[in-house]
Structure 1
Amino acid sequence: MSEQVAIITGAGSGIGRASSIKLAQSGFKVVLVDFNAQTGEETLGLIKEAGGEGIFVQANVAISEDVQNYVNQAVETYGRIDFFFNNAGIIQKFALLEDVSEDEFDRLSGVNIKGVFLGMKYVLKVMHKQGEGHIVNTASTAGLRSEHSASVYSATKHAVIGITKGAALEYVKKGIRVNAICPGGVNTALVAGVQAQFASGGYIPEEFSNMRMGRPAEAEEIASMVAFLASEGSSYMTGSILTVDGGLTL
């Protein structure tokens, strides 16, 4: 696997950072992408300290030119793209649907839908020319059933599942596989921000999901699934929507 190349978006923290480190440990050359240059460079530093190889590219995944740039940087540096972890995403400010602003809707759909679409669009061009490749999108358990007071976020993650299945069907005979993971609650800065939102006296949903294992996942647990999907062990999987949620959706 030492000659394989992976792009990871949202690589500066949480699931993206943990997965970047895990993939580098597995022998991938990694192209790290994040909006936050400081945290992205920090992830790259951790990988290089451990003997891994990679580059960092700053990007807003909702801007076409930025996406084309990180794809071009990957090809110019390493010559190909074998695995794409299309992971960057943001969470909603919890509110009743009637109170969600248009700006909030645009913010969520820009990153969670358009960002996923653009990443797939330009990576697929490379993989199609190669005749092989594998994409994994980060959806959510909210893409399988909605979270209370997060209807727009849920809609964006349902869209991720839809585009995953559509692309899997379109490219199944072209040597390209497309799958998605659906994490439940994960112990990341993104989730910590939600708790801070509640603690600051803002809106609190009427219902919360049942964490059946009594705890959220650690980012490394999700990264282990990503590493499996990046391996030959998943070679007969495409269009699969995998829950990694500790029984949350049972």
Structure 2
Amino acid sequence: MSTTGLSGKSVIVTGAASGIGRAAALRFAAEDAKVVVADLNAEAAKSVVSEIEAAGGTALAVTGDLSDQAVIDEVVASAVDTFGGVDILVNNAGIMDGMTAAADVTDTEWERVLRVNLTAPFLLARAVLPHMLAAGSGVIVNTASEASLRGSAAGAAYTVSKHGILGLTRSLAVMYRDKGIRANAIAPGGTATGIGGSAEVDREAHGPSVIMRHMGNMGRIAAAEEQAAAIVYLASDAASSVNGAILPVDNGWSAV
């Protein structure tokens, strides 16, 4: 039996087919939460659901591009219709940019990165808030980035999108703290996840060449499960008075 207050909770995890999102979905399910596995990769999302169910947990997959409002609506409706509401939202899905400096960013790159990394989390938060407000409780955990804390950890579009996540997190925390709703974020450092170019796969702004360049500052590369542990902590009753916090999970990189 879970001692974290997560048993029976309805949880949406985006980017849940791999990396940090997958690790978080599995950890929530192990705490007896019911998990919506949301991702662009249908086959991988179904695989995570099968893994959860094989361990005795409860989950369902919703697939699609979270830059599409219709997909946002489907994700939230699936949680409400199947699990009776939305107790926890984990905005984890994101895409990398091309490490592009501002003068070289195209409109297409800028708009796509901002849409997936910042607008989609806002849209999801806006969609779940009526359900959380009706229940008088709820938790939102966003995946920010080391790039949220400095200007040298990624290209212009990614860095701006992840700085925006901090503003979104803090705004939610202040606006809804008297309504029983908390919002926090983790800021991962270098993390061993599937780094690539597809949309709803969680990733940190550190491709192999960037990792090598910053290794002296980054220190040890974290496992996805370590990031997931921080997410689940922030969503749990153990963090009941933690609101508006940005938690670096970066082995001290942000302290350098």
Work out whether the TM-score is over 0.5: yes
Q: Say yes or no: does 1:80 pair with 2:85.
A: yes
Matches within 5 A, 1:55-204: 55-147=60-152, 150-190=155-195, 195=207, 198=209
Alpha-carbon separation, structure 1, partners of 2:239 and 2:216 = 28
Instruction: Rate the CA distance shift 1:81–1:185 in 2: closer, same or farther, 3 A.
Output: same
Identify the match of residue 244 of structure 1 among 222, 242, 249: 249
Counterpart of 1:131, as a letter, is: G
Please tell me whether the aligned partners of residues 190 and 204 of structure 2 are also in contact (alpha carbons under 8 angstroms): no
> Which runs of 5 or more structure 2 residues have no equivalent in the other structure?
1-5, 196-202
Instruction: Rate the CA distance shift 1:148–1:181 in 2: closer, same or farther, 3 A.
Output: closer
Identify the match of residue 35 of structure 1 among 16, 40, 61: 40
More displaced 10-residue stretch of structure 1: 2-11 or 184-193: 184-193
Alpha-carbon separation, structure 1, partners of 2:240 and 2:115 = 31
Deviation for aligned residue 1:35: 0.9
Alpha-carbon separation, structure 2, partners of 1:105 and 1:212 = 28
Instruction: Rate the CA distance shift 1:78–1:173 in 2: closer, same or farther, 3 A.
Output: same
Alpha-carbon separation, structure 1, partners of 2:140 and 2:153 = 29
More displaced 10-residue stretch of structure 1: 85-94 or 95-104: 95-104
Alpha-carbon separation, structure 1, partners of 2:103 and 2:58 = 47
Q: Say yes or no: does 1:54 pair with 2:59.
A: yes
> TM-score with structure 1 length normalisation?
0.91
Instruction: Report the secondary structure of 1:249's partner residue.
Output: helix
Q: Could you give the per-residue CA deviations for residues 96-132 of structure 1, whole angstroms, max 9, x where no partner exists?
A: 3212211110110010011111110101121011111
User: How many residues get paired?
Assistant: 243
Instruction: Rate the CA distance shift 1:90–1:70 in 2: closer, same or farther, 3 A.
Output: same
Alpha-carbon separation, structure 1, partners of 2:70 and 2:42 = 17
> Which runs of 5 or more structure 1 residues have no equivalent in the other structure?
199-203
> TM-score with structure 2 length normalisation?
0.89
Instruction: Report the secondary structure of 1:54's partner residue.
Output: strand
Please tell me whether the aligned partners of residues 211 and 246 of structure 1 are also in contact (alpha carbons under 8 angstroms): no
Match of 1:231 in 2: 236
Instruction: Rate the CA distance shift 1:11–1:156 in 2: closer, same or farther, 3 A.
Output: same
